[in-house]
Structure 1
Amino acid sequence: MEITLVSRPSRRPWRVASGAALAIVVAGSFSTLAGLLVGPLHEDLGWSRSSVGLGSLVNMVVYGATGPFAAALMGRLGIRRVATGALLLVGAGAALTTTMTSPWQFVLYWGVLVGLGTGATAATFAATVGERWFTARRGLVTGMLTAAGVVGQFAFLPLLSWIVESYEWRVAASVLTGAATLALPAVWASVRDPEAAAGPKAVEPLALAVLGRAARTAPFRLLAGTFAICGASTNGVLWTHFAPAAHDHGMPVTVAASLLSVIGLCNVAGTVGSGWATDRFDARRLLTAYYALRALCLFALPLLLAATVDVPLLAFAVLFGLLDVATVPPTVALCRAHFGADAPVVFGWVSTAHQVGAGAVAFAGGLARDAFGSYDVMWAGVGVLCVAASLVVLVVRGVPECRTAV
């Protein structure tokens, strides 16, 4: 009698994904605090909104620029060391922020330190974990880990906004420092690398060499350009300026933060669903639909903002949430299809463009508010950019392999 032994699938990939998700959630919680600090820093320290916007600009650019080097560093030191190092950076940056007295310190502590930490655990980190540990469900896992970042960004918002209003902004920053400290042991214990994953390659030459090769190709330039618009229309204009814009219309900051939390909750469904769809459908067509619908949302927003939340504004929050980070899985899939083994580092550079776009609009939004007294021109301008992205992404050459086998 012949006995066939069937090996059970290893649970380690999912344990690693769980630890990575925890790191992403905690680091992601730092991303939206800057939007809640615009008013308090203006009132408490007398800084202009453009000064605060400069710190946000630096944060977003550093966040994006960190991605490709973090991806290369994961190949040199491993995923676990990079993840725990990132948590140390964001915790230290937030702790130092509570001591600042000048705008340049906000640029250094929040812009550089927190930017480095959040950038190392952003979409590039999610893509790297998915690439190394998963095959059949790679798109789904990438979507889930990207959604984890969104959970961190928005799940903490009601608590942080309540702390800022009830106590002060320094207490909110201290809470984030504590969260990063508590997460460190669990992340160190659960996150691992596959056997022989780490290599002896130097970090900077690898990241820059990949950029040099990719930058000569049309798909990279098109993906970087459209993803810059993605950053401008999410992190840049909505995540940074929605709360102060809503407050300008008489809405309490806590209510505006709750709406952002609705966006965050819908982001989870939208991103995971987008990952599922990316495993099955043409990534380019998905991106076209996402950018076009996002443009319609931004065009409508100035007409919807008011002192209270009604059904149309709530519908905006739901729809924008479904679209917000849904662009990540299909963009990762197109990077993988065109650049193969270099895809995590290439996506890191594409994410750099995302954050450059975000930072530019975050800074421009502060200037617009100081100059015109409202953010209306920003909503319309970024909506036009999204229309352009919905058309440009179709120019990216389609590759059948961008659909991962289920």
Structure 2
Amino acid sequence: MGLMLKPMADDLNWSRATLSLTVTVFMVVSAVVLPFIGRLVDRYNIRTVLLTSLLLSSVSIALMSVIRTPLQAIMLYGVLFGLATAGTSVAPIGVMVSRWFPERLGMANSIAISGMGIGQLVIILLLTSQFEVLGWRGSFLALAALGLVLIVPLILLKIPLTAPGEVAGQKGSPAGSGPQWTVSASLREPKLWYLIVIYAICGFQDFFVATHVVAYARDQGVGAVLSGNLYALMGLVGLAGVLAAGLGS
């Protein structure tokens, strides 16, 4: 949304506060749904959750190209895309990484999460270079197409349903040991609340601040291409930080 904020507001004659509301709804929906995504991963399998979420994500982003009213933006981006993003976030990815790389969990998680920075860097650079041709509506369609063409086949072909040494259909950790946490027990654990605070700070920077970076740069007289590249640079710096954290874990 950060790259689209100013051109969407100008084209649709909406205030930036209206578009920012869609991001707020997106964040709230994603946060509320995430615990249920974890339950779906346990009940079904990671491939099903990821594939369904990616398809839903592509559909919602494609439909954003034809919006005409603020309510449509809130429902498509805030609600539908929020649901889809929860299904492709830390819940299923964290489960997959913990099953496959239990010995180097910190570094493995860092490498997996670094994909967000790589994606932001590459996709924003590509969209910025073609934004004048595509416009914001065409850019949403391009993002949806990338999701279908590049991501879904990888899920279908590359993600095994079980970890090495784990019997198909068997649930739990690869080693079959370790504490079994209930929701009530987890909520009484101080470390969980530390993590919630850390993720809240990270989420504020990632979504609320980053949403306005490009528009703010444009307001200060920075060109469209350079403004978009600044947004891409945030992904590069984030990539370095995530990998550094993994090395130190």
TM-score (norm 1): 0.55
What is the SS of the residue equivalent to 1:168?
helix
Residues 23-38 of structure 1 aligned to structure 2 (within 5 Å): 34-38=1-5
Q: 1:116: which partner in 2?
A: 83
1:245 maps onto 2:212 in alignment: no
Q: Do the aligned partners of 1:163 and 1:171 also contact (CA within 8 Å) in 2?
A: no
One-letter code of the match for 1:220?
L
One-letter code of the match for 1:223?
L
Q: CA deviation at 1:79?
A: 0.7
Residues 224-243 of structure 1 aligned to structure 2 (within 5 Å): 224-237=196-209, 239-243=210-214
1:160 maps onto 2:131 in alignment: no
Shift >4 Å, 4+ stretches: 196-200
Q: 2:184: which partner in 1?
A: 212
Residue 210 and residue 172 in structure 1: after superposition, are their counterparts in 2 closer, same or farther (change >3 A)?
farther
Q: Do the aligned partners of 2:116 and 2:235 also contact (CA within 8 Å) in 1?
A: no
One-letter code of the match for 2:211?
T
Q: CA deviation at 1:48?
A: 1.0
Q: Distance in 2 between matches of 1:198 and 1:88?
A: 27
Q: Distance in 1 between matches of 2:14 and 2:7?
A: 9
Gaps of 5+ in 1: 1-33, 201-208, 279-406
Structure 2 counterpart of 1:265, from 233, 236, 248: 236
Q: Deviations over 1:218-257 (max 9, x none)?
A: 33223312321222133221x2111111112111232122
Larger CA Rg, structure 1 vs 2 = 1
For these two proteins, the number of residue pairs brought into alignment is 236
1:94 maps onto 2:61 in alignment: yes
Q: CA deviation at 1:210?
A: 4.2
Q: 1:39: which partner in 2?
A: 6
Q: Deviations over 1:328-384 (max 9, x none)?
A: xxxxxxxxxxxxxxxxxxxxxxxxxxxxxxxxxxxxxxxxxxxxxxxxxxxxxxxxx
Q: Distance in 1 between matches of 2:119 and 2:85?
A: 11
Gaps of 5+ in 2: 173-180
Q: CA deviation at 1:213?
A: 2.8
Q: Distance in 2 between matches of 1:260 and 1:43?
A: 20
Q: Deviations over 1:278-300 (max 9, x none)?
A: 1xxxxxxxxxxxxxxxxxxxxxx
1:126 maps onto 2:98 in alignment: no
One-letter code of the match for 1:149?
M
Residue 82 and residue 263 in structure 1: after superposition, are their counterparts in 2 closer, same or farther (change >3 A)?
same
Q: Distance in 1 between matches of 2:148 and 2:93?
A: 21
One-letter code of the match for 2:4?
L
Among all aligned residue pairs of Structure 1 and Structure 2, give the percentage whose two residues are the same amino acid: 28
TM-score (norm 2): 0.87
Residue 184 and residue 226 in structure 1: after superposition, are their counterparts in 2 closer, same or farther (change >3 A)?
closer
Q: CA deviation at 1:83?
A: 1.1
One-letter code of the match for 1:272?
L
